[in-house]
């Protein structure tokens, strides 16, 4: 039987306590995020948002799930520069279409393929005024822009077509989901098309990406 030294036991105990404490904080923050508004969530809203957004944001509220009412398709394109200085605008790439293709006929599709892009776009829209893609709404809006941009750049790569990326642009098309036959609700109108302005891309946007 192995005997641990006192320093080793101390390190193990402290590490275990730290992990348990961090897990408790994370679970508590997610709970406060989805729970109905209360004195605690209002008092620590900034700290909770800092832990939850953007990776752990939930698209539902505790005791009141809100199912999707529209399908949103997100496309992206980039402007690149060649070694000779020539600038080229690439064709639109359907990011949502790629995710759907990865899910279809897959008995165990990944959570990333199903939700990452959709939640990133929801996060962006919730933090920006409708129809205004140029101005971020505070720190949360800037974070939403960076998150969406980095998801697209990770999928497109650093040098699409062998050229460096200068700018990136997004567009979306929203189609209403028809209610079930037994529902008395009326079909909603399509939310339509939205095209964002070009965003500059630099080396900082690729930091930490595979």
What is the rounded distance in angstroms from the CA atom of residue 161 to the CA atom of residue 90? 9
> For residue 145, what is the enclosing H or E element?
helix 138-156
Q: Is residue 40 part of a domain?
A: yes
Average pLDDT of the segment spanning 20-38 = 86
What is the rounded distance in angstroms from the CA atom of residue 13 to the CA atom of residue 182? 57
**pLDDT computed for residue 152 by the predictor:** 94
Q: Which domain holds residue 22?
A: 6-52
Q: Is residue 132 part of a domain?
A: yes
On whether both 96 and 175 belong to a single domain, the answer is yes
Q: Is residue 63 part of a domain?
A: no
Q: Is residue 127 part of a domain?
A: yes
Average pLDDT of the segment spanning 107-122 = 84
pLDDT at 88 over 80: yes
Three-class SS state of 67: coil
On whether both 76 and 167 belong to a single domain, the answer is yes
pLDDT at 43 over 90: no
On whether both 139 and 187 belong to a single domain, the answer is yes
On whether both 20 and 118 belong to a single domain, the answer is no
> Which band of pLDDT confidence, cut at 50, 70 and 90, is reported for residue 71?
confident
pLDDT at 196 over 70: yes
On whether both 99 and 191 belong to a single domain, the answer is yes
Give the CA angle between residues 205, 209, 210 to the nearest 5°: 150
Q: Are 64 and 91 spatial neighbours (Cβ–Cβ below 8 Å)? A: no
State how many domains the chain has: 2
**pLDDT computed for residue 75 by the predictor:** 96
> Which band of pLDDT confidence, cut at 50, 70 and 90, is reported for residue 167?
very high
From residue 208, give the alpha-carbon distance in Å to each of 150, 203, 205. 10, 11, 9
On whether both 81 and 126 belong to a single domain, the answer is yes
**pLDDT computed for residue 187 by the predictor:** 62
What is the rounded distance in angstroms from the CA atom of residue 96 to the CA atom of residue 93? 9
On whether both 90 and 190 belong to a single domain, the answer is yes
Higher pLDDT, 73 or 58: 73
Q: Is residue 151 part of a domain?
A: yes
On whether both 46 and 79 belong to a single domain, the answer is no
Mean pLDDT over the full length of the chain:
83
Phi/psi of residue 44, nearest 5 degrees = -115, 30
**pLDDT computed for residue 33 by the predictor:** 84
What is the rounded distance in angstroms from the CA atom of residue 115 to the CA atom of residue 120? 8
Q: Is residue 109 part of a domain?
A: yes
Which pair of tokens denotes residue 175?
A: 């189609």
**pLDDT computed for residue 156 by the predictor:** 92
Q: Are 121 and 72 spatial neighbours (Cβ–Cβ below 8 Å)? A: yes
Three-class SS state of 46: helix
Q: Are 80 and 88 spatial neighbours (Cβ–Cβ below 8 Å)? A: yes
% of the chain at pLDDT higher than 90: 27
Q: Are 95 and 117 spatial neighbours (Cβ–Cβ below 8 Å)? A: yes
Written as one string, the DSSP assignment of 125-142 is HHTS-TT--SS--HHHHH
């Amino acid at each position: 039987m192995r005997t641990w030294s006192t320093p080793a036991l101390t390190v193990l105990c402290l590490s275990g306590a730290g992990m348990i404490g961090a897990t408790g904080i994370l679970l508590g923050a997610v709970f406060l995020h989805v729970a109905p508004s209360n004195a605690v969530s209002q008092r620590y809203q900034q700290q909770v948002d800092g832990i939850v957004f953007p990776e752990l944001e939930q698209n539902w509220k505790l005791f009141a799930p809100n199912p999707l009412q529209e399908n949103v398709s997100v496309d992206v394109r980039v402007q690149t520069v060649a070694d000779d200085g020539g600038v080229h605008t690439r064709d639109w790439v359907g990011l949502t279409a790629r995710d759907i293709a990865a899910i279809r006929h897959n008995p165990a599709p990944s959570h990333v393929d199903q939700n990452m892009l959709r939640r990133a776009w929801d996060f962006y829209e919730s933090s920006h005024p409708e129809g205004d893609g140029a101005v971020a709404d505070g720190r949360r809006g800037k974070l939403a822009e960076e998150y969406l941009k980095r998801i697209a750049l990770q999928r497109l790569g650093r040098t699409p077509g062998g050229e460096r990326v200068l700018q990136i642009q997004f567009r979306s098309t929203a189609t209403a989901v028809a209610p079930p036959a037994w529902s008395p609700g009326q079909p909603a109108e399509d939310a339509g098309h939205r095209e964002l302005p070009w965003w500059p891309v630099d080396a900082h946007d690729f930091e930490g990406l595979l």
